[in-house]
């Protein structure tokens, strides 16, 4: 199909209808399940958000209790999965690789992978257990068993640290999970829908999506953002830091987004959530705020025709660090949130499925003649 119009990266191509999230990149707005992101993120528990995405409505009190209990009952992982995570930890593989292995293996001890809605709940429930267990093994500590009496966010913090989380930390993590739970047809979500379009199972879709999210152009930036902020804080000169990076032609992590031409609305939500974890006048958070101001101004000077504003990754780093999540777990924590969006999209794809099958433009030779091996 050499004559087809080329859309690199599928820019501007609409391939699905969804009720899950709506982005206006020009206005800088995001609605999730019909709610403005700032309202949903700060008001809902994560279980309410997952129910909203799965059922297209908010739950009643009784429905929420039942849904929360059902998710909690699906959190355990078997010894086969633990063995894989122990091996991954002993070889010090990256946390996202361990998550990918764990998710793929989690179907070994689950009897509901052939029932899509149950499989979707299992995927959401088991992500935090896999991440936390792997992290504990990396620290030469035994995993902390999940607790059914804790909400999703609280249980994650409990399994990572082994200590009772504060209400503020739980709310901070819930705000983060709600903020990034879904975001249009991004690369990992598109991957999940593509897998399901072949009538494959939801665990396979989740595994493929994890592999996609791992890439630094998608979900892998919050850790490097924190390292950048720490370096700036130590130097005490954000302007010099930014100028050096821009003069060297380096990308400034935490700024610019494929979709937004203005400030990412999720950055505002996470900035407010992060601030409470730093004392008034805290030098580090002052550095974060000052760095954002300087970076936006200098980026505007450097690329006057291409606005690069703050994206979600910038304040993700400040919030998750403030809550106490190790930077090695920033992207896996992103995956814990986005797993619900992936599964909601997978269920939506199944409800009105068509195999995803784009075309490519061939640019190779067409008049080659075969040369025998002896004559090459």
Q: Where are the domains of the chain?
A: 38-216+328-351, 222-322
| Polymer length of the chain | 376
| Those residues with Cβ within 8 angstroms of residue 289's Cβ, 6 or more apart along the chain or in another chain | none
List 82, 233, 257, 345, catalytic entry = 257
User: pLDDT in tens for each of the 376 residues of the chain?
Assistant: 445 777 887 877 888 999 999 999 999 999 999 999 999 999 999 999 999 999 999 999 999 999 999 999 999 999 999 999 999 999 999 999 999 999 999 876 655 556 899 999 999 999 999 999 999 999 999 999 999 999 999 999 999 999 999 999 999 999 999 999 999 999 999 999 999 999 999 999 999 999 999 988 888 777 889 999 999 998 888 999 999 989 898 888 889 888 888 999 999 999 999 999 997 767 899 999 999 999 999 998 888 777 889 999 999 999 999 999 999 999 999 999 999 999 999 999 999 999 999 888 888 999 999 999 999 9
CB atoms within 10 A of CB 115: 12
Give catalytic status of residue 257 as yes or no: yes
Instruction: Check if 375 is active-site.
Output: no
Rounded to two decimals, what is the model's pTM? Answer: 0.93
In the set 48, 292, 313, 348, the catalytic residue is 313
CATH fold of 222-322 reads Cytochrome p450-Terp; domain 2 (1.10.230)
- Buried (b) or exposed (e) across 49-74, using 16+ Cβ within 10 A? bbbbbbeeebbeeeeeeebbeebbeb
Rounded Cα–Cα distance for residues 345 and 116 (Å): 12
The pLDDT of residue 108: 63
pLDDT at 110 (0 to 100): 54
What's residue 76's pLDDT?
95
> What CATH homologous superfamily does 38-216+328-351 map to?
Citrate Synthase, domain 1 (1.10.580.10)
User: In 3D, which of 278, 280, 281 has the Cα closest to residue 317?
Assistant: 278
Cα distance from N-terminal residue to C-terminal residue, the chain: 31
pLDDT at position 13, please? 84
Q: Taking a C-beta distance cutoff of 8 angstroms, is the pair 168, 199 a contact?
A: no
Q: What is the predicted pLDDT for the residue at 143?
A: 98
Across-strand partners of 32? 21, 35
Structure tokens at 356: 């995803």
Residues near 371 by beta carbon (within 8 Å), at least 6 away in sequence: none
Distances (CA, A) of 57 to 15, 63, 115, 263: 24, 11, 21, 29
């Amino acid at each position: 199909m050499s004559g087809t119009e080329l859309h690199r990266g599928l820019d501007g191509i609409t391939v699905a209808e969804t009720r899950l999230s709506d982005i206006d990149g020009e206005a800088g707005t995001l609605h999730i399940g019909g709610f403005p992101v700032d309202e949903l993120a700060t008001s809902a528990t994560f279980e309410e958000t997952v129910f909203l995405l799965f059922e297209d409505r908010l739950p009643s009190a009784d429905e929420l209790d039942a849904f929360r209990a059902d998710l909690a009952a699906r959190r355990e992982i078997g010894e086969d999965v633990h063995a894989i995570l122990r091996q991954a930890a002993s070889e010090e593989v990256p946390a996202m690789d361990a998550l990918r292995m764990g998710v793929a293996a989690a179907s070994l001890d689950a009897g509901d992978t052939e029932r899509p809605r149950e499989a979707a709940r299992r995927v959401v429930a088991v992500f935090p257990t896999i991440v936390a267990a792997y992290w504990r093994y990396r620290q030469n500590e035994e995993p902390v068993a999940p607790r059914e009496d804790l909400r999703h966010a609280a249980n994650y913090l409990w399994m990572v640290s082994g200590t009772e989380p504060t209400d503020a930390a739980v709310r901070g993590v819930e705000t983060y999970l709600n903020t990034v739970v879904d975001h249009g047809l991004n690369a990992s979500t598109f991957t999940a829908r593509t897998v399901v379009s072949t009538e494959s199972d939801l665990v396979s879709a989740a595994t493929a999506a994890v592999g996609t999210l791992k890439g630094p152009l998608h979900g892998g930036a919050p850790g490097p953002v924190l390292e950048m902020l720490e370096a700036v804080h130590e130097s005490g000169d954000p302007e010099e830091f930014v100028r050096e990076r821009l003069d060297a032609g380096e990308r400034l992590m935490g700024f610019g987004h494929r979709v937004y031409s203005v400030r990412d609305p999720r950055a505002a939500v996470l900035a407010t959530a992060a601030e409470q974890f730093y004392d008034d006048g805290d030098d580090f958070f002052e550095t974060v705020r000052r760095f954002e101001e300087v970076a936006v101004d200098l980026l505007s000077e450097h690329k006057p025709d291409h606005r690069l504003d703050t994206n979600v990754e910038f304040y993700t780093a400040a919030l998750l660090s403030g809550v106490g999540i190790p930077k090695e777990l920033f992207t896996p924590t992103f995956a814990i949130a986005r797993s619900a969006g992936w599964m909601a999209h997978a269920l939506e794809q199944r409800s009105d499925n068509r195999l995803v099958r784009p075309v490519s433009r061939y640019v190779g030779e067409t008049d080659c003649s075969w040369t025998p091996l002896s004559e090459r």
